[in-house]
Amino acid sequence: MTETILHKTYNLKCIDLSIEGKGVCKLDGLVVFVPAMFPGDEGEVEIEYKRNGQHFGRLKKLSVFSPDRIEPLCKVSSACGGCVFQKYAYKAELEYKRRKVADQLKRYGEIDVEVLPTLGMENPINYRNKIQVPFGKDDKGKTIYGFYKEGTHAIVPRKECFIEDARAQRILEKLNDVFNRLGIEPYDEISETGSIRYAMIRTSYYKKEVMLVLVTKETFIPKKPALIASIQKEMPEVTTLVQNVNGQRTNVILGKRYMTLYGPGFIEDSLCGIKFKISAASFYQTNPVMTEILYKTAMDFAEIAKNDVVLDAYSGIGTIGLIASKRAKKVISVELVEEAVKDAVKNAKANHIDNFEAYQDDATAFILRMAKRKERLDVLFMDPPRKGSTPKFLSAALALGPKKIVYVSCNPLTLARDLKVLKSKYKVEKVQPVDEFGRNYHVETVVLLSKTTRD
């Protein structure tokens, strides 16, 4: 069948959205995924390719429009691919995210609970406080920045992005001008010449502070003093400049080595009334408006009592734990990345919080030790990376038996898998999706689990 349908065009109707926000169409019982097609759309679709047994198509012409289809703000969304929902009504996107969480919990967790309506933004534009862009050259040899064309390392130059912080975008433009003027070359993977690989910019939401990180092939950057002087003069918004060296041939953007070229090496921002110092290597949520809502939801769910001992696992720079410390007797946090733990310690001091302890460790190893020593734990916050937690972590959590577990997740699939384990002793009380990534298919979820057994 496959050979006969590839590169042919069919009239298809979109009936659903996949977990990556692609339109789902059916062709004689066969599923075809089509980007930028939404439920209710109907039109001509060319079947482009087959990957891992699944068919993918390209929408050529629409004949029936989904009632939720809108004019996109961004004209390059199809090429960029960052915003799968630029052409979809935001309200419909929020409902899609709610349904996605419910579906995954049912499918992978065998959990059939009501999922609350997704909390979203008023208007999901310019919300992202972190930009990372690759640098390269155009046909005329000029330095440009942009996004990688899907599946390649060719750079498509970009102008305005409606997701990222506007200040950061202006800095990027100026930085690119400086590179061209000084003749500082982007690194070229093929000829292995040049030095600049990426720029990363982090902006503070509440303060006028901006961090610029230049990711370079080696420590040496030609005309470094002139570069630093130009940035200081032409981009005074940049309050700290950091160099990161990444000599590896890899898709990972940041290398291991950081050098502060000026300023303190971190920026400060605040969340739920607590100040945070954020250095280049530390994880920090990218949507400041929705992060406050996310954490507030987590706190409301936890209902921490004055005498509670709280663990913040996978703590990053200690955001959740430090916010919780105002309500708890004691908060312990554990995080793998050393810089983030150092930030957490600094953050506790800066906020005059003395009932908070930050540990650098693997969260599983740490909680296993706590379980072995039968330490007291009343509330557990866990916010693991996309791959979720580990079976050992979960069994140690079950053994410690806190009265409540608040699971913050950025991946409903691994959330469902982990909840399936926890539900042996805990009831899934509330599931609240929060839209941290408007226009993208990712969704953040806060889950409240309360203990059902007495042991």
CB of 285 to ligand SAH, least distance (A): 5
337 makes contact with ligand SAH (CB under 6 A): yes
CB of 76 to ligand SAH, least distance (A): 29
The four Cα atoms 110, 115, 121, 124 give a dihedral, to 10 degrees, of 40
DSSP 159-202: ---SSB-HHHHHHHHHHHHHHHHHTPPBPBTTTTB-SEEEEEEE
> If DSSP states are collapsed to H, E and C, what string results for 307-326?
CCEEEEECCCCCHHHHHHHC
Of 117, 110, 108, 65, the closest CA to residue 90 belongs to 117
CB of 78 to ligand SAH, least distance (A): 30
Locus of tokens 């994880």? 283
147 or 276: CB nearest ligand SAH: 276
76 or 415: CB nearest ligand SAH: 415
CB of 145 to ligand SAH, least distance (A): 27
CB of 228 to ligand SAH, least distance (A): 30
Candidate list 308, 383, 418, 435; residue touching ligand SAH; CB under 6 A: 383
Give the separation between CA 117 and CA 99, rounded to whole angstroms. Answer: 9
Sketch the per residue contact string, 396 through 425, with ligand SAH: x for CB under 6 A, - otherwise. Answer: ------------------------------
Candidate list 311, 340, 396, 416; residue touching ligand SAH; CB under 6 A: 340
Candidate list 173, 385, 391, 452; residue touching ligand SAH; CB under 6 A: 385
113 or 337: CB nearest ligand SAH: 337
Amino acid code (one letter) for 101:
V
Locus of tokens 């069994």? 395
Of 405, 402, 406, 393, the closest CA to residue 432 belongs to 406
Candidate list 175, 196, 363, 396; residue touching ligand SAH; CB under 6 A: 363
Amino acid code (one letter) for 5:
I
Could you tell me which residues are beta bridge partners of residue 97?
none
The encoded tokens of residue 448 equal: 């409240």
Give the separation between CA 28 and CA 320, rounded to whole angstroms. Answer: 49
Sketch the per residue contact string, 312 through 331, with ligand SAH: x for CB under 6 A, - otherwise. Answer: --xxx--xx-----------
Give the separation between CA 121 and CA 435, rounded to whole angstroms. Answer: 7
Applying CB under 6 A, the span of 36-44, 52-60, 237-245, 383-391 interacting with ligand SAH comes to 383-391
Sketch the per residue contact string, 75 through 94, with ligand SAH: x for CB under 6 A, - otherwise. Answer: --------------------
Applying CB under 6 A, the span of 90-98, 184-192, 379-387, 440-448 interacting with ligand SAH comes to 379-387
Locus of tokens 């703000």? 73
Compute how many other C-beta atoms are within 10 angstroms of the C-beta atom of residue 424.
11
Which residues between 268 and 287 bind ligand SAH (CB under 6 A)? 283-285
Give the separation between CA 439 and CA 21, rounded to whole angstroms. Answer: 10
**Nearest 5 degrees, angle CA 238-CA 242-CA 243?**
135
Give the separation between CA 168 and CA 211, rounded to whole angstroms. Answer: 9
335 makes contact with ligand SAH (CB under 6 A): yes
Tell me how many residues contact ligand SAH (CB under 6 A).
18
CB of 175 to ligand SAH, least distance (A): 27
316 or 433: CB nearest ligand SAH: 316
CB of 90 to ligand SAH, least distance (A): 24
261 or 341: CB nearest ligand SAH: 341
The one-character DSSP state at 266 is E
150 or 362: CB nearest ligand SAH: 362
**Nearest 5 degrees, angle CA 284-CA 260-CA 280?**
10
The encoded tokens of residue 222 equal: 């030609």
CB of 415 to ligand SAH, least distance (A): 13
Amino acid code (one letter) for 194:
G
CB of 124 to ligand SAH, least distance (A): 19
Give the separation between CA 372 and CA 367, rounded to whole angstroms. Answer: 9
Residue nearest to ligand SAH (CB): 316
362 makes contact with ligand SAH (CB under 6 A): yes
E strand spans, 53-195:
54-64, 130-137, 143-148, 155-157
363 or 371: CB nearest ligand SAH: 363
Residues 14, 83, 272, 410: which is the catalytic one? Answer: 410
174 or 392: CB nearest ligand SAH: 392
221 or 320: CB nearest ligand SAH: 320
Residue 410 annotated to the active site:
yes
Contact predicate 416/388, CB 8 Å: no
| Residue positions annotated with a catalytic role | 410
Contact footprint for ligand SAH (CB under 6 A): 283-285, 314-316, 319-320, 334-337, 340, 362-363, 383-385
